[in-house]
Amino acid sequence: MSWHGLAANPGRLASEQDRLAAEIWTAWRPLGHYTVGAAFVCFDQATSGNGSVGDRAFAAAACGGEVAVVTGESSSAYSPGRLAPRQGALLERATRGLGAIPDVLIVDATGRDHPRRCGLALHLGAVLGVPTVGVTHRPLHAEGEWPADERGAASPLVLDGEHVGYWVRTKPGTRPLAAHAAWRTGPEVAVEVVLVATERARSPEPLRNARAAARRLRGQQVLPVA
């Protein structure tokens, strides 16, 4: 079913999330040099609140020095745990716009930290066929103590007894990020990818580049919406 079809059928979205969460796959493990990309989407909301159907959307994917951007409209209102219908198609289009799909993709969303164990980062990876890692400023439902205040320190995020990610400190003196296991990645790999992709700033470089590109596009108010 298409992303739009999921928006029109909440029950089917839940079934698809359950299916993907239960799917058995070969875990991806970084070996040697690998490319890390990221995808991000932001909105120009038509009304106040968390977000509505028809909000103008601006998505970007970044990998290395390349950035791909797309515009569109949200086909679903914002709902926690149901980001796939609102953001999935835009993030997929942006990522496929890159000259080469990265070896692993960072997504501004959760993965296993989800009531159905299938956040958008996992769902998008399954659609693209690319290992993914979620990176957010806070967990969705998982809990865990913050790690020590030193780069590379990590502490588990646990949901209903399941280890679904880590708090990871990318820069001393700043709030840690939540690194989420997602499509074909476990919590430890999520931490490694986040640290490899983070240089001097707090957030991974590809994610910063994608976020900046999407927000820059939104600021330009490009018309018409494609």
Set out the domains of the chain in order of their start, with CATH numbers. Answer: 3-220 (3.30.2170.10)
* Average pLDDT score over residue span 188-212: 97
pLDDT in tens, 41-98: 999 976 666 778 889 999 999 999 999 999 999 888 888 888 999 999 999 999 999 9
**Residue 179 burial by Cβ neighbours in a 10 Å radius (0-12, 13-18, 19+):** buried
pLDDT at 170 over 80: yes
pLDDT tier at 147 (50, 70, 90 boundaries)?
A: very high
* Average pLDDT score over residue span 151-170: 98
Task: Report the pLDDT value the prediction gives residue 6, as an integer from 0 to 100.
Answer: 77
Contact assessment for residue 59 and residue 28, using Cβ atoms and an 8 Å cutoff: no
Q: Please give the mean pLDDT across all residues of the chain.
A: 93
Q: How far is CA 146 from CA 95, 165, 186, 212, in A?
A: 32, 12, 19, 27
